[in-house]
Amino acid sequence: MPDTAPAAVRADAPTDGQPIIEIEGLNKWFGEFHVLRDISLSVNKGEVVVVIGPSGSGKSTLIRCINHLEEHQQGRIVVDGTELTDDVRNIDQVRRETGMVFQSFNLFPHLTVLENITLAPIRVRKWKKSKAEERARFFLDKVGIPEQALKFPGQLSGGQQQRVAIARALTMGPKVMLFDEPTSALDPEVIGEVLEVMVALAQEGMTMIVVTHEMGFAREVGDRVIFMDQGQIVEVGTPEHFFLAPREERTKAFLSKIL
Amino acid sequence: MALADRDPVLRIPFWRNVKTIGILAQIVFVAVIALGVFVLVTNTLNALGRANLPADFSWLGSRAGIPIAETPIPYTPNDPYWRALLIGFLNTLKIAGIGVILASLIGIAVGVMRLASNWLVRSIATVYIELLRNIPLAVQIVFWYTAVLLPIPPRINNPIEIPGGLYLSNVGLAFPFLYPTYRFGAWVPWLVLAVVVAVVGVVWRRRLAQRSERPVRVWPLPLVALAAIAAGGYYVASLDRTLPDGLAVDFTIDRGRGVVYRDLDGNGVRGPRDPLMPFASTIVRIAEAELTASTQNITESGQLVRSTFRFPMILERNVEAAVVDFGDPEEAAERGFAIHFTRFPSRGVVYVDRDGDGEFTPGEESDAETGIGYGGVRLVMTVVGYERHIVADRDGQVRTPAFSPSGTVRSAEVAPALNPFSVFGGAAAAESRDDIVPLEADVELLPAGPLVLSRVHVPVSSYEGGMRLTVNYLALLLALVVYTSAFIGEIVRGGIQAVAKGQREAALALGLSPSQTFSLVVFPQALRIVLPPVISQYLNLTKNSSLAPLAGYGELFVIATIVQNQTGASVPVALLLIASYLLISFVFAFVLNIVNDRLALVER
Amino acid sequence: MFEVIPPRPAPAGVAGIGGWIRRNLFSSPANTLLTVVTGLFVGYVVIAVVAWALFDASWGQVWANQRLFAVYRYPADLLWRPMAVLAAMMALIGVMGGAGRSNEILRGLFWSLVGFVAVVTVIAILFWPSARVLWTGVLAASVVGYALGAARPALVRALPWAWAAWLFLGFFLLYGVTPGSGLLRIVPARDWGGFMLTLILFTGIVPSFPLGVALALGRRSKLPAIKYTCIAFIEIVRGAPLIMWLFVASLLLPLFLNTDPNNLPAILRAYVAITLFSAAYMAENVRGGLQSVPRGQTEAARALGLGGWLTTSLIVLPQALRAVIPAIVGQAIGLFKDTSLVFIVGLADFFRVTEIVANQPASLRVTGGVKLELYLFVALIYFFFAYRMSIASRQLEKQLGVGTR
């Protein structure tokens, strides 16, 4: 990096914790378009990091880089001690340890809820079917829809589908959960049931990175809030700092629009 | 910072590296494919060498010797292979071009019928579509060819006359056609000018339409200008009444054939280097001549036709007078023969007026006891003042009936035996008699406009003039059109139904009539949905024309199979075939892309 | 005070048969005229056709050549062999139909086939003494298969193996084992033909399926060498008509293998051409299905740690193939019709046999000719199967469209 370039804002985790995700100088381009610019971020075990920002600010791309759904061009990403390089083994390793929940659920429509959940444990973790199903039922219970196990995703409501998606990710036993706007595609009346599950998860000590527009969730559960704009981290802080006394003008402008 | 201090892992085994795995896989893939191709090519070369078959294209220049019935450009069996294949390719285009237009028209009609409010009409369309789509095209082609078009229409010597100068028979369809003459070149600049003016006009009107507040009709004015300039140019080009230098005709009257050519070396005789002049307009005049014919008992279209005679077709308007008499009047009088014309003066029957009513009554054309007709009765037609306007064909050929000098038949009677030479050749026997009128033809070459209308003429058992389509072409065309129209019909129906119901309702609510709603709102939108799949149906039709062997039509595939059979050049012929069809497919894909782009543009 | 008004029956002319007739046939004077005119026309055509079929047509040549139409020159004393293969096939389909209680479409197809077999059986019993027992056997096998499937739905799990065994044994039964004479003597492929050959060629769609899937996946590959090779194959094959490929294959295959043309039976060359041709079209159909699977499906699978191969085979393909079943059935109809093109390599399939029969001295002696009759008969048989499949395709489309996934 040339010296003249403005120094990027770093989002380092508190030093008292044990970092599980470390990102250093991350850059990514879509063709000519510079989506992520000098992102440095680390997340401690058990921390809940909420990423907010206007659409197109690169926040989704950021968390998609963490499990290598998007390839980064510069910088380093290390998840639980495994660095994401061109090594297939490392990529698989990182994906096993991170769960991801998508905006549009992405449940597999040709499989039942139970099959959706047990597919990866059986095929990737090589669990026995009985064990996988037992774990699946446990997590279905946890997200509050044990009775839907044998239905197809198409027969469930949006909120139920998203909860199945969370259960699907949890059953793999991930160390980190990535949420990519999990409530944006939901009807307002079912957003609550999904958020409830996420809150419970956070309280159990799961490491989470959540991209969301739900400011209530950020304020309530977030350990740290990161505001991104134009592919950069603009401001980092605790929810209190963020919602009560933001430093940057850009942050203030954004918050004034959505709050 | 922990991460910044640690060294990144740089060494990744290549079999685990995302970047190299891909390259590795491709190298392996390409190697396998290359190996396979290598083995096949080596095998093929060995096999070709062993069987001593041609593996190059040098044979393309040698004489083909393939007779082709339908040739859009001049062709003789003496032409080389490449020209035979070119004819095949053009024939493919000829059937595809016409087929596409007809299939679209019928397809649209059927598609609209499918949505008719009348249940019966709707059902007919449904049955049409389901029936035709679910029967193999091969079966349909053979059905039309061998079960309908070959047996059902009448023979060529008695074709159906369709108003407008069309003739249909089991040989095919012939119709009048406009051909370009030697004067056409004088018209071309005018045509170019007309098109340029029209294009400029359209551009200008478009601009005007964009700027102007009032609605501007873009198309009418340029189109009128186009027509006016073209027509004016035609008139001006026709004003020049001179004939091209050295235009001459070489006419052999006793064979009834002539050739129009340009005597470039000016020696007054048609030499090998003198070019033939196609589509020249001529008038053939013959003062007096005669034709002979004999009655026949024949089976035709499953029916027995008795005591029938057929002269080469002479139309009444082409002669001052025509008289038909018996070749042997005394014998005819003895047996009581009379002549009944079914078509004066060329066609008719010989009969015996048994009931004495002075007219022909059916049944009188055969013997009362045996039921057998009167065969072999010789008849003579004497023609006075024959004058016919004949347009030379593509090869500059002019044909008339093969006349004999008038009086030849009488003179032949005195000869001890029937000498065919004396009847047809005329000269030897004719000189000995005084009453023989010498056979002379006056062939006048007429100045022509840029285009000339060539009419169909059916002398005896072939078509002359006009445009001729063989029954093979018709059968294949019919089958392709009908088959494809069923698919197009279904696409059209789907397209119309896919236009949102709301569109129709909105148009009706605005007060448009149902027909306006359809033509202004529904149809334009349906067209957008329908066009891409219909274009791929056009491609299917073109490719399906390769089923031509079933109808014996000489298109690309048929000619290629014959060429392969003659030369043994399997690989080159296969390559040519594949390349030709790929070319056609690419052209269609190109058109489809343009259409899709334009449609996408309209959408915005 | 709100009260529910009880529904009243519709006035005349709105509902019921009368209303339907008025709306669809006599809604206006013009429509009435149209109905009368087309009605008369249709009536005339139908009566003329029926009268011709019943009184004028001579169907004798169709009856007289049943064996040619069915199996061509396959020896009469060995007829039991193809019939056994047919019976086994019907039984297996029967098990599928019987077990798949919920699958109405498959069951419907099965019963249509049984109906066809039943009609032929009746005809055989009446007019074709040598095949009476055989056809009855086929009919019985179908029904038994269905009953078995209905009674023991678990049999479905054995079906893939059963089909594989059928394919293997069926081939040896048709072809024979021992040279010379005897029950299992070899019947050379040049004697195969008729409807049997049409069906055999039709099975070319089976090997074309995995090939087509592979090509479709290859076409979507990120690796340019694989991608463009697949594109080239698909587009070149689709660019030219099947009849040309049959011709080219019959010329070039012996050259490619550097062997005498007589070593490669025409049926084999045709089969290769049909399979490869069908695979190219299959690839395009499957590609359509692959494109219909949202990107999120792949991403979700990858995020769960599934590798590329598992993602494709467990997540993407099942959804893609499901979406293209109607298109594949449509392609099967096309292929069924296109088998008639093998005449170009000298095979005597169902269509070509018609030509052979039409040119028999006995046919030529019939006054008025029998071509019309023969081609109508053949067209009818083709139509029955193609139309039945197209109905199934439409049902499938509907089922998938409304679908409880």
Is B557 within 8 Å of chain C by CB? yes
Strands A74-79 and A19-30 turn out to be antiparallel
d(CA B205, CA B225): 13
Tens-place pLDDT, residues B19-70: 888 899 999 999 999 999 999 999 999 988 888 888 889 999 999 999 998 8
* Residues C151, C144 contacting (CB under 8 angstroms): no
**Residues of chain B numbered 274-303 and touching chain C (CB < 8 Å):** 302
d(CA B58, CA B60): 5
Strands B321-326 and B467-470 turn out to be unpaired
User: What amino acid occupies position C1?
Assistant: M
**Mutation site, B39, B134, B555, interface C, largest C CB count within 10 A:** B134
Q: What is the DSSP string of C362-382?
A: HHHHSTT-SHHHHHHHHHHHH
**Mutation site, B3, B17, B19, interface A, largest A CB count within 10 A:** B3
Cα–Cα distances in angstroms (integers) from residue C299 to residues A51, C147, C302, in the given order: 21, 45, 5
pLDDT at residue B561 tops 90: yes
Pick from A98, A102, A154: CB nearest C296: A102
d(CA A64, CA A179): 10
Pick from C294, C299, C306: CB nearest A124: C306
Instruction: Find the residue in C nearest to A95 (Cα).
Output: C305
Cβ <8 Å between B147 and C229:
no
Taking alpha carbons only, the member of C223, C306, C311, C226 closest to residue B21 is: C223
Q: What is the pLDDT of residue B413?
A: 47
Q: What is the dihedral of CA B507, B512, B516, B517, to 10 degrees?
A: 20
pLDDT at residue A63 tops 60: yes
Tens-place pLDDT, residues A177-187: 999 999 999 99
Lowest mean pLDDT among A98-102, B57-61, B237-241, C295-299: B237-241
* Residues C324, C286 contacting (CB under 8 angstroms): yes
CA of C92, closest CA in chain B: separation in Å? Answer: 26
pLDDT at residue B299 tops 80: no
Cα–Cα distances in angstroms (integers) from residue C401 to residues B62, B63, B327, C392, in the given order: 60, 60, 82, 14
* Direct distance between the N- and C-terminal alpha carbons of chain A, in angstroms, rounded to an integer: 36
Q: What is the DSSP string of chain A?
A: --TTSPPPPEEPPPTTS-EEEEEEEEEEEETTEEEEEEEEEEEETT-EEEEE--TTSSHHHHHHHHTTSS--SEEEEEETTEE-SSBHHHHHHHHHHEEEE-TT----TTS-HHHHHHHHHHHTS---HHHHHHHHHHHHHHTT-GGGTTS-GGGS-HHHHHHHHHHHHHHT--SEEEEESTTTTS-HHHHHHHHHHHHHHHHTT-EEEEE-S-HHHHHHH-SEEEEEETTEEEEEE-HHHHHH---SHHHHHHHHHH-
Cβ <8 Å between C258 and B47:
yes
* Residues A119, A107 contacting (CB under 8 angstroms): no
Is B547 within 8 Å of chain C by CB? yes
* Direct distance between the N- and C-terminal alpha carbons of chain B, in angstroms, rounded to an integer: 53
Taking alpha carbons only, the member of A31, A24, A28, A27 closest to residue A10 is: A24
Residues in A closer than 8 angstroms to C294, CB to CB, are 104, 106
Cα–Cα distances in angstroms (integers) from residue B281 to residues B259, B261, B449, in the given order: 12, 12, 10
* Residues B585, B539 contacting (CB under 8 angstroms): yes
CA of A221, closest CA in chain C: separation in Å? Answer: 24
Is B5 within 8 Å of chain A by CB? no
Cβ <8 Å between C305 and A155:
no
CA B297-B301-B305 angle, to 5 degrees, is 25
Mean pLDDT, range C253-267, rounded to an integer:
89
d(CA A71, CA B18): 11
Whether residue B345 has a cis bond before it, omega within 30° of 0: yes
pLDDT at residue C22 tops 70: yes
Q: What is the pLDDT of residue B2?
A: 56
Longest CA–CA span in chain C (Å) reads 97
Residues in C closer than 8 angstroms to B140, CB to CB, are 379
Is B124 within 8 Å of chain C by CB? yes
pLDDT at residue C188 tops 50: yes
- C384 CB neighbour count, 10 Å cutoff: 15
**Residues of chain B numbered 377-436 and touching chain A (CB < 8 Å):** none
Q: Under an 8 Å CB criterion, which residues of C touch A?
A: 294, 296-297, 299-307, 310, 314-315, 318-319, 322, 404-405
In the structure, what pLDDT confidence band is assigned to residue B5 with cuts at 50, 70 and 90? Answer: low
Q: What is the CA radius of gyration of chain C?
A: 26
Lowest mean pLDDT among A122-136, B154-168, C383-397: B154-168
Pick from B2, B13, B20: CB nearest A22: B2
Please provide residue C134's backbone torsions phi and psi, each rounded to the nearest 5 degrees. Answer: -60, -50
Instruction: Find the residue in A nearest to B13 (Cα).
Output: A87
Strand runs labelled E in C150-210: none
- C42 CB neighbour count, 10 Å cutoff: 15
User: ipTM of this model?
Assistant: 0.92
Enumerate residues 6+ apart whose C-beta is below 8 A from A62.
Answer: A26, A36, A39, A41, A51, A211, A228
Region of residue C368 (left: phi > 0; alpha: psi -120 to 50; beta: else): left
Mean pLDDT, range C147-163, rounded to an integer:
90
Tens-place pLDDT, residues C125-153: 887 888 889 999 999 999 999 999 989 88
Pick from C301, C304, C319: CB nearest A109: C319
Per-residue exposure over B57-70, b if at least 16 CB sit within 10 Å of its own CB, e if not: eebbeeebebebeb
pLDDT at residue B331 tops 80: yes
User: What amino acid occupies position B560?
Assistant: A
Is A85 within 8 Å of chain B by CB? yes
CA of C333, closest CA in chain B: separation in Å? Answer: 8
Residues in C closer than 8 angstroms to B574, CB to CB, are 248, 251-252
Residues in C closer than 8 angstroms to A172, CB to CB, are 304-305
Per-residue exposure over A23-40, b if at least 16 CB sit within 10 Å of its own CB, e if not: bbbbbbeeeeebbbbbbb
Pick from A22, A83, A88: CB nearest B9: A83
d(CA B320, CA C299): 92
Tens-place pLDDT, residues A111-158: 999 999 999 999 999 999 999 999 999 999 999 999 999 999 999 999
Q: What is the pLDDT of residue B491?
A: 94
Q: A-B interface: how many C-beta pairs under 8 angstroms?
A: 36
Q: What is the pLDDT of residue B537?
A: 95
Mean pLDDT, range A8-12, rounded to an integer:
84
Cβ <8 Å between A110 and C294:
no
CA of C323, closest CA in chain A: separation in Å? Answer: 11
Region of residue C72 (left: phi > 0; alpha: psi -120 to 50; beta: else): left
d(CA B470, CA B100): 19
Cα–Cα distances in angstroms (integers) from residue B366 to residues B295, B299, B329, C98, in the given order: 12, 14, 19, 71
Is B109 within 8 Å of chain C by CB? no
Tens-place pLDDT, residues C227-245: 999 999 999 999 999 999 9
* Residues A152, A112 contacting (CB under 8 angstroms): yes
d(CA C219, CA C236): 14
Average pLDDT, chain B: 86
Cβ <8 Å between B138 and C351:
yes
Tens-place pLDDT, residues C46-99: 999 999 988 888 888 888 888 899 999 999 889 999 999 999 999 999 999 888
pLDDT at residue B409 tops 90: no
* Direct distance between the N- and C-terminal alpha carbons of chain C, in angstroms, rounded to an integer: 46
In the structure, what pLDDT confidence band is assigned to residue C356 with cuts at 50, 70 and 90? Answer: very high
- C79 CB neighbour count, 10 Å cutoff: 17
Q: What is the pLDDT of residue B425?
A: 38
pLDDT at residue B111 tops 90: yes
Tens-place pLDDT, residues B332-362: 888 888 888 888 888 888 888 888 888 888 8
Lowest mean pLDDT among A168-177, C40-49, C59-68, C382-391: C59-68
Mean pLDDT, range A97-116, rounded to an integer:
93
Taking alpha carbons only, the member of C380, C239, C237, C355 closest to residue B136 is: C380
Is B9 within 8 Å of chain A by CB? yes
B585 three-state secondary structure: helix
Pick from A124, A153, A165: CB nearest C305: A124
Q: What is the pLDDT of residue B11?
A: 75
What domains appear along chain C, each with residue ranges and CATH number?
A: 16-53 (no CATH), 74-185 (no CATH), 188-405 (1.10.3720.10)
Q: What is the pLDDT of residue B417?
A: 41
Length of chain C (residues) = 405
Mean pLDDT, range B549-557, rounded to an integer:
94
**Mutation site, B41, B52, B113, B118, interface C, largest C CB count within 10 A:** B118
Tens-place pLDDT, residues C317-345: 999 998 899 999 999 999 999 999 999 99
d(CA C196, CA C187): 14
Instruction: Find the residue in C nearest to B42 (Cα).
Output: C256
d(CA B274, CA B266): 9
Q: What is the pLDDT of residue B546?
A: 96
Tens-place pLDDT, residues A203-255: 999 999 999 988 889 998 999 999 999 999 999 999 998 888 888 899 999 98
In the structure, what pLDDT confidence band is assigned to residue B419 with cuts at 50, 70 and 90? Answer: very low
Lowest mean pLDDT among A27-41, A136-150, B500-514, C377-391: B500-514
**Residues of chain B numbered 28-47 and touching chain C (CB < 8 Å):** 29-30, 33, 40, 43-44, 46-47
Is A240 within 8 Å of chain B by CB? no
d(CA B582, CA C244): 12
Per-residue exposure over A54-91, b if at least 16 CB sit within 10 Å of its own CB, e if not: beebbbbbbbbbbbbbbebeebbbbbbebbbbbbbebb
Q: In sequence order, what are the beta bridge partners of A235? A: A227
Please provide residue B306's backbone torsions phi and psi, each rounded to the nearest 5 degrees. Answer: -110, 150
Pick from C302, C303, C318: CB nearest A110: C318
**Mutation site, C302, C304, C306, interface A, largest A CB count within 10 A:** C304
Cβ <8 Å between A98 and C297:
no
Taking alpha carbons only, the member of A233, A249, A251, A178 closest to residue A36 is: A233
* Residues C142, C90 contacting (CB under 8 angstroms): yes
Instruction: Find the residue in A nearest to B18 (Cα).
Output: A86
Q: What is the pLDDT of residue B427?
A: 44
Per-residue exposure over A43-52, b if at least 16 CB sit within 10 Å of its own CB, e if not: bbbebbbbbb
Length of chain A (residues) = 259
pLDDT at residue B323 tops 80: yes
pLDDT at residue B220 tops 60: yes
CA of A171, closest CA in chain C: separation in Å? Answer: 10
Pick from B43, B130, B571: CB nearest C387: B130
pTM: 0.88
Helix (H) or strand (E) holding B259: strand B257-262
Pick from C34, C340, C382: CB nearest B118: C34
d(CA C86, CA C138): 7
Taking alpha carbons only, the member of B371, B401, B193, B198 closest to residue B297 is: B371
